Structure 1
Amino acid sequence: MHSFRAAVEAGDIDAAVALLADDVVFHSPVAFKPYEGRATVEVILRAVFTVFEDFRYVREIAAAPDAALVFEARVGERALTGCDFVHVDGDGLIDDFMVMVRPLSGVQALGEAMAAKLSAR
């Protein structure tokens, strides 16, 4: 099992953040421009932990140094399916992290919830 998956499933956000490289690049399902740097991505991950409900990984497809972690969750009343695509560097830290989400109504609910959460910061 991928260590990021294990940290998320344990609800250990600190352990998940510790797996990010300092120069990690995060590709959001709702933003055009990627986010860069551990501190920035940490803020996003901490917000996601509070926005997703009933989050669970349902499948893992891995071929080191890459993994695809398929998940299901809810945002309010909207059910969604998504995938975390992670790439690890030579030190075993995540240096590229892309999230894809479907259906469109789930993406929209996620975008709205994340905007509200991050604007409150």
Structure 2
Amino acid sequence: MGDTSHSRACLDRWHDYILKSHDKQALWDMLHPDVVFESPVVHTAQRGRDITFKYLASADKVLGSEGFRYVGEWLNDSGAILEFTNTLDGIEVNGIDMIRFDADGKIIHFKVMVRPLKAVNHVHQLMKAQLEAMMASKAS
């Protein structure tokens, strides 16, 4: 097993963002310009900081509400898998965030998986509405 101290330091910055500050600039700064994001509700991987930022900022609003918590954590020398839960509109959501970091501590790959199907469908609806609202506010 490798040294996980690098991943721990990177993960601590992620936890500060998602569990405490919700500081959008901190999120932007964590993302590598060529980051890849994989969503449970979008067929193809999304590439680049701009689109990944939009998805993660929207997910923070949708999933990162009051009941959001991490219930499991597994680290290796270049990343982490985090299991999370939340209840959205009475629907139990269970998922994992799979995060890989580069040598400079930037997020280079972020994959989200969600279960059960009822939760996936509900998260899809909420994310779509949040992304549309974000795009509309940028246009005005």
Aligned-partner residue type, residue 101 of structure 1:
V
* CA deviation string 1:64-116 (max 9, x = no partner): 20200111112322111111001111211110110011111111100011111
Structure 1 partner of 2:16: 6
Aligned-partner residue type, residue 44 of structure 1:
Y
Residues 41-52 of structure 1 aligned to structure 2 (within 5 Å): 41-52=52-63
Give the Å deviation of 1:7: 2.0
Structure 2 residue corresponding to 1:74, chosen from 87, 91, 104: 87
Q: TM-score, normalised by structure 1?
A: 0.91
Aligned-pair identity (%): 32
Residues 60-99 of structure 1 aligned to structure 2 (within 5 Å): 60-99=73-112
Please say if 1:20 is aligned against 2:20. no
Contact 1:21 1:95 in 2 (8 A): yes
Aligned-partner residue type, residue 32 of structure 2:
A
Structure 1 residue corresponding to 2:42, chosen from 31, 34, 37: 31
Which secondary structure does the structure 1 equivalent of 2:57 belong to?
A: helix
Q: TM-score, normalised by structure 2?
A: 0.80
How many residue pairs get aligned? The number is: 121
Name the structure with the higher helix share.
2
* CA deviation string 1:41-77 (max 9, x = no partner): 1111121122123111112100120200111112322
Contact 1:5 1:69 in 2 (8 A): no
Q: Is there any run of 5+ residues in structure 1 with no aligned partner, and where?
A: none
Over aligned residues, Cα RMSD in angstroms? 1.4
Structure 2 residue corresponding to 1:40, chosen from 39, 44, 51: 51
Q: Is there any run of 5+ residues in structure 2 with no aligned partner, and where?
A: 1-7, 136-140
Structure number with greater Rg is 2
Give the Å deviation of 1:17: 3.0
Which secondary structure does the structure 1 equivalent of 2:21 belong to?
A: coil
Give the Å deviation of 1:38: 0.9
Aligned-partner residue type, residue 14 of structure 2:
F
